[in-house]
Amino acid sequence: MDFVTKLPKSSQGYDTIWVIADRLTKSAIFTPIRETDLMDKLARIYLKEVITRHGILVSIISDRNPRFVSNFWGSLQNALGTRLDMSTAYHPETDGQSKRSI
């Protein structure tokens, strides 16, 4: 998971793309969001766009974006039984799938 930020605003006000890459199938979900969207809204989008399509994930690799290290996100994934793995700072190859999808 990663974010492409600082994009020009769309007519709906979106300025960020949330990239969610599936390591198994090499498919990706590109979801438009606003950089200011709060974690509860992102959680709803995640449930709608990811969980409904793919089911509960075994693990997630993401960078150390504050959204992904928040207590809310950790609690949600813990409740779902999903393991959270954080990539090492300045080593984007850990999460290379989302980088290659962009």
- Mean pLDDT to the nearest integer, 46-60: 83
What's the total number of domains in the chain? 1
Q: Residue 91 has what pLDDT?
A: 54
In whole angstroms, give the CA distance from residue 98 to residue 20.
7
More confident residue, 77 or 48: 48
Q: Which DSSP letter does residue 22 get?
A: -
User: Above pLDDT 70, what percent of the chain?
Assistant: 85
**pLDDT, tens digit, 9 for 90 and up, residues 24-51:** 778 888 999 999 999 889 889 988 988 8
Q: Where residue 51 sits, what CATH number does that domain have?
A: 3.30.420.10
Q: What is the structure's pLDDT at 95?
A: 47
The strand ranges marked E within the chain are 2-4, 16-21, 28-33, 59-62, 83-86
What average pLDDT score do residues 62-67 get?
75
DSSP 47-69: IIIIIHHH-S-SEEEE---TTTT
Long-range Cβ pairs for the range 63-68 (8 Å, 24+): 63/1, 63/2, 63/87, 63/92, 63/95, 64/89, 65/2, 65/3, 67/3, 67/39, 67/42, 68/1
Containing structural domain, residue 21 = 2-101
User: pTM of this prediction?
Assistant: 0.70
Query: For the segment 7-29, what is each residue's pLDDT rounded down to a tens digit?
Result: 999 999 999 999 988 777 788 88
